[in-house]
Amino acid sequence: MLVEPGATHECVRGQLYDDIGTVYARHRRADPRIAAQIRAALGDARTVVNVGAGPGSYEFDDLDFVAVEPSTIMLAQRVSGAAPAVQAVAEYLPFPSLSFDAALAVFTVHHWAHLEQGLQELCRAAPRRVVLCFDLRLEHELWLVTEYLPEFLQFEEGLVWNPEDIAAAIGAERIEVVPVPHDCQDGFGGAYWRRPERYLDRDVQACISSLARLEPAVLQRFETELRRDLDSGAWHARHRDLLALTEIDLGYRLVVAS
């Protein structure tokens, strides 16, 4: 359900996902283990604003959600019966102060045009704030970046924050590690750390913003090199230690102000 949009403002996420988000709901589904951790962080909240909600992967049936999403393409992928959605941006939430028990932001803050302003809006909207983000210092250690795609760094060179900064901005009292399981059902950037062949799927690429924004020549080089290493067994030889793991810490963090 789409309700009347709030004020319109330039938004990085909205522009980006109108271009690349056409198959997002196909691969960006809630992983039940990550969902359980988010649900626990929401605690006894009954009403939740989900900022940068996309198709609504982490909205729970036992809570009353209102989704905020700037991208028309993403809003169109919300299933029938999903929580009501407002087309707006994080920096200008169209609600009175303290309209909700909790504000949730999942894998979205790195797309906000003005992070500090968006985090201030989360604080204004609700007394409890839960933000799922990532630590660039660890994310950049993933083999996908170090061995194949140092170009990822260009998309994040302007991001100077880390989870501790976000925690300070929203008054959080804890930061939780969110391990990524080897069979993660949500296809975010690090989800396929033990399934490298999945990064060659064009639909998978379209649901990972850093891959979707690569220049065609860079993407072709990446695919050629990774496919070569998979066919020769070189990737598996280099990463036999990963194949023994069932989960890994890739820097994903749940920042909780309760």
The structural domains of the chain, with segments of one domain joined by +, span 2-257
pLDDT > 70? residue 178: yes
Confidence of residue 73 (pLDDT cuts 50, 70, 90): confident
**Tens digit of each residue's pLDDT (9 = 90 or more) over 223-252:** 999 999 999 999 999 999 999 999 999 999
Indicate the length of the chain as a whole number: 258
CA dihedral (82, 88, 93, 99) in degrees, to 10, reads -20
What is the spatial distance between Cα 76 and Cα 23, in angstroms, rounded to a whole number?
11
pLDDT > 80? residue 161: yes
One-letter-per-residue 3-state SS of 9-63: CCCHHHHHHHHHCCCHHHHECCCHHHHHHHHHHHCCCCEEEEECCCCCCCCCCCC
Residue range 4-14: mean pLDDT, rounded: 42
DSSP state of 199: G
Confidence of residue 184 (pLDDT cuts 50, 70, 90): very high
* CATH code that applies to domain 2-257: 3.40.50.150
What is the spatial distance between Cα 205 and Cα 192, in angstroms, rounded to a whole number?
11
Token representation of residue 149:
């795609």
Residue range 46-66: mean pLDDT, rounded: 95
Q: What are phi and psi of 187, to 5 degrees?
A: -85, 50
Looking at residue 212, what is its pLDDT?
A: 86
